[in-house]
């Protein structure tokens, strides 16, 4: 039997624009660069926080801002890498949704890493030693 409809070809992998060229990111960075610097050491440490009534996970008390941001940077790097892999396999609307997620994660990680660098912490060193 002859097939009457054709399969849509999977789109070729589209290279993403570098997030630093994004207008919104540039505007955010401009505002942040004009703000007076704040030392992360001047921020209060975390308070204990349960993530949910039945969750075995929670936030420990007295975690310093630099330590918290270091962990956030690692988690965002992992999310970015997983999302990149998923984007390569996705097609159609899923590809756009995942790309949007990747873009948000990259922007978030860039901001966290910039905070760490401004406070004397090299995010790449954290990522290599993890």
**pLDDT tens-digit map of 70-117:** 999 999 999 988 888 888 888 888 888 888 888 899 999 999 999 889
pLDDT of residue 64: 92
Angstrom distance (rounded) from CA 119 to CA 34? 17
Angstrom distance (rounded) from CA 105 to CA 83? 9
pTM: 0.62
Angstrom distance (rounded) from CA 94 to CA 89? 9
- Domain positions in the chain are 61-130
pLDDT of residue 119: 85
Q: What is the pLDDT of residues 30-78, one digit of tens each?
A: 888 888 877 888 888 989 888 888 888 888 999 999 999 999 999 999 9
Q: Work out the angle at residue 99's Cα, subtended by the Cα atoms of residues 98 and 103, and round it to the nearest 5 degrees.
A: 120
- What is the token pair recorded at 86? 């998923």
């Amino acid at each position: 039997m002859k097939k009457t409809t054709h399969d849509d070809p999977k789109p070729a992998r589209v290279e993403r624009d570098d997030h630093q060229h994004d207008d919104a990111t540039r505007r955010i960075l401009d505002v942040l660069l004009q703000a007076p610097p704040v030392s992360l050491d001047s921020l209060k440490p975390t308070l204990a926080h349960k993530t949910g009534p039945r969750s075995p996970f929670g936030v420990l008390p007295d975690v310093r801002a630099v330590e918290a941001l270091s962990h956030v940077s690692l988690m965002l790097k992992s999310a970015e890498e997983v999302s990149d892999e998923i984007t390569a396999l996705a097609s159609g609307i899923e590809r756009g949704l995942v790309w949007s997620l990747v873009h948000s994660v990259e922007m978030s990680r860039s901001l966290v890493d910039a905070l760490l660098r401004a406070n004397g912490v090299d995010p790449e060193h954290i990522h290599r030693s993890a």
